[in-house]
A and B are shown apart, each in its own frame.
Chain A
């Protein structure tokens, strides 16, 4: 069996695709239902129904964009020296590893536009992460501690539950600021997170608007 026919076929395939991008084509097409630009007029103004010049045709979201919008960088903080900074990643504004007793807890700082569903929904989301039942709206006040740090209003929660069968604790703070909601969350082994609570509260007191 000769391989020549195969080689010829491949060469033809290559050549046919190579010429394609310079080929002028003609065809008959149905009419578009859109208007056209009239000839030049002296006014220098665009006709009333003309789309703005200089912006791409086809609207703003012509390409797929399913990226999750996150908040701005409008808050700053100073972490305790024994917390080790980690790379923040695409969703996080800040990220720290809190180590002790051979275990590690994770501190995450995130921000999103709007109220992200409200305080109760977010606190119940955290409770769900450590296998606690959701709170009703009238139970919320009993479980949160309110702090005023400068101009910021901070709601702090402290929940102990379990994750994958091990005792796990969440220390969280929700901070509405400038139309966004900021979340500071320390998640890790119960004993370690409980011991870090003073450091966490001290850390919250360093949060300032930029």
Chain B
């Protein structure tokens, strides 16, 4: 083994590294907890944990520099450290079985968290009583949906993530007979009809950029990004559609418009909408009944429950389920939780979570508990044997 490799090995298997990483993690979590006041929970997760480095802008500029290791960096090194130390010191011994099982559980827990943070998708399903839904909507991610609605049976959808709009420039897609030029984009903006006062009393400074759809009648006021947990950013963009024979017009899009806008081009009917990202499923949920109980004499909720009819497209499942607090529906790798409701108790809102790693924390906790039981059991047995041996000696 060359000295360099040995140095690397000694670094990754050392207990000092573990201690330093744990200490840095404590600082990171403390800092992130304080920062949650300004950034909110989503912002903190992005800035501190789902990143290799915590970035801060150099004061007075917009140049980000890494100032502290982030969650992926510390978590990744912790896994490497744990795995490396294990491989290096591993000896197949019955006496160590408990410790090894416990550490294996810990490695699985860290891996599970990594998979969750990378792969988990959360969305909402809003169900009015009697209504049927085949999709759920993200509550943070937006998409520009361009629908070809010519076929009476279904829509052909091209879904463009908001991040692509934020990049600016133009978009060309093989399914679209036109090019989309992004004239401007605001990550958060308020809309008001031009014949009404703008929100906050200020009038939009510029004239309408839009030439088609509802846009010419709407004033756009850019707002600061919000990080509050109960507020959403509502982006807005002006998009010019250009075909081979020239511009088709400029449309304003925003989730605040509330409805898609329609136009005809190349013998087909199109709809455009900037909307919360949709996730379609091969099954349908129908809300049969929503119940909301309160504690007597107060408005404090006691229980919400949604009676749901689940029907899959392949007709394999066709059943009723009751979803209430702590009793979600698990189906097709998704979990549906009772999350909220709207005034009047006629609309139920389910939280839909897809987390391929959801079972890993359970397995790892069982492994760690078993490992500790085995470890303490071995010690206990040894202790009991010693005592009984001592008792035999003293009596003999």
CB contacts under 8 Å to B, within A141-158, are none
Binds B, one of A57-65, A169-177, A182-190, A201-209: A57-65
Contact A17 B118 (CB under 8 A): yes
Number of interface residues of A (CB under 8 A): 54
| A27–B175 CA distance with the chains assembled, in angstroms | 11
Binds B, one of A44-52, A71-79, A98-106, A129-137: A44-52
Binds A, one of B21-29, B98-106, B252-260, B328-336: B252-260
| A51–B114 CA distance with the chains assembled, in angstroms | 41
| A66–B232 CA distance with the chains assembled, in angstroms | 18
Q: Does A117 contact B (CB under 8 A)?
A: yes
| A7–B370 CA distance with the chains assembled, in angstroms | 28
Residue on B nearest A34 in the bound complex, by CB: B259
- Encoded as 1 (CB less than 8 Å from any B CB) or 0, chain A from 2 to 29 comes to 0100100010011011000111111111
| A87–B344 CA distance with the chains assembled, in angstroms | 35
Q: Does B343 contact A (CB under 8 A)?
A: yes
Q: Does A116 contact B (CB under 8 A)?
A: yes
Contact A10 B114 (CB under 8 A): yes
Q: Does A81 contact B (CB under 8 A)?
A: no
| A11–B297 CA distance with the chains assembled, in angstroms | 56
20 A-B contacts, Cβ less than 8 Å apart? A13-B119, A21-B141, A21-B161, A24-B171, A28-B155, A29-B147, A29-B157, A30-B154, A31-B152, A35-B259, A37-B261, A39-B263, A40-B213, A40-B214, A51-B259, A53-B256, A54-B199, A59-B126, A65-B230, A117-B296
Q: Does B342 contact A (CB under 8 A)?
A: yes
Please classify the interface of chain A as helix (H, G, I), strand (E, B), loop, or mixed, using the class held by over half of its residues.
loop
Residue on A nearest B72 in the bound complex, by CB: A14
| A54–B19 CA distance with the chains assembled, in angstroms | 52
Q: A36-B260, A66-B301, A116-B297 are in contact. Are A31 and B347 (CB under 8 A)?
A: no
Q: A53-B191, A57-B258, A61-B349 are in contact. List 15 more A-B contacts (CB 8 A).
A: A10-B114, A17-B118, A21-B161, A26-B156, A28-B155, A29-B135, A29-B155, A29-B280, A35-B259, A37-B260, A39-B212, A50-B258, A56-B256, A69-B299, A121-B297
A-B pairs, 10 with minimum CB distance: A117-B297, A51-B258, A64-B340, A17-B118, A36-B262, A54-B191, A37-B261, A61-B342, A36-B260, A59-B342
Residues of A close to B118: CB separation below 8 A: 13-14, 16-17
Contact A61 B192 (CB under 8 A): no
| A37–B139 CA distance with the chains assembled, in angstroms | 23
Q: Does B285 contact A (CB under 8 A)?
A: no
Residues of B close to A36: CB separation below 8 A: 259-262, 271
Residues of B close to A32: CB separation below 8 A: 155
Residues of B close to A37: CB separation below 8 A: 213-214, 257, 259-262
Contact B173 A24 (CB under 8 A): yes
Contact A27 B159 (CB under 8 A): yes
Q: Does A118 contact B (CB under 8 A)?
A: yes
Contact A31 B163 (CB under 8 A): no
* Chain A interface residues (CB < 8 Å from chain B): 1, 3, 6, 10, 13-14, 16-17, 21-32, 34-40, 44, 46, 50-66, 68-69, 112-113, 116-118, 121
Taking the closest CB of chain B, its distance from the CB of A29, in whole angstroms, is: 5
Out of A31, A55, A60, name the residue touching B342 (CB < 8 Å): A60
Contact B255 A26 (CB under 8 A): no
Out of A51, A62, A112, name the residue touching B126 (CB < 8 Å): A62
Contact A28 B154 (CB under 8 A): yes
- Encoded as 1 (CB less than 8 Å from any A CB) or 0, chain B from 202 to 226 comes to 0000000000111011100000000
Interface centre among A26, A30, A68, A121 (most CB of B within 10 A): A26
- Encoded as 1 (CB less than 8 Å from any A CB) or 0, chain B from 114 to 153 comes to 1100110000101000000011010101000001010011
Residue on B nearest A35 in the bound complex, by CB: B259
Residue on B nearest A1 in the bound complex, by CB: B87
Contact B296 A44 (CB under 8 A): no
Contact B298 A117 (CB under 8 A): yes
| A116–B271 CA distance with the chains assembled, in angstroms | 49
Residues of B close to A56: CB separation below 8 A: 232, 234, 255-256
Taking the closest CB of chain B, its distance from the CB of A88, in whole angstroms, is: 19
| A22–B171 CA distance with the chains assembled, in angstroms | 12
Q: Does B369 contact A (CB under 8 A)?
A: no
Contact B340 A63 (CB under 8 A): yes
Contact B340 A46 (CB under 8 A): no
Contact A40 B217 (CB under 8 A): yes
Q: Does B378 contact A (CB under 8 A)?
A: no
CB contacts under 8 Å to A, within B167-207, are 167, 171, 173, 175, 190-195, 199
Q: A36-B259, A53-B191 are in contact. Are A59 and B149 (CB under 8 A)?
A: no
Residues of A close to B160: CB separation below 8 A: 24
Contact A38 B154 (CB under 8 A): no
| A31–B148 CA distance with the chains assembled, in angstroms | 11
Q: Does B341 contact A (CB under 8 A)?
A: yes
Residues of A close to B360: CB separation below 8 A: none
Out of A14, A26, A38, A57, name the residue touching B256 (CB < 8 Å): A57
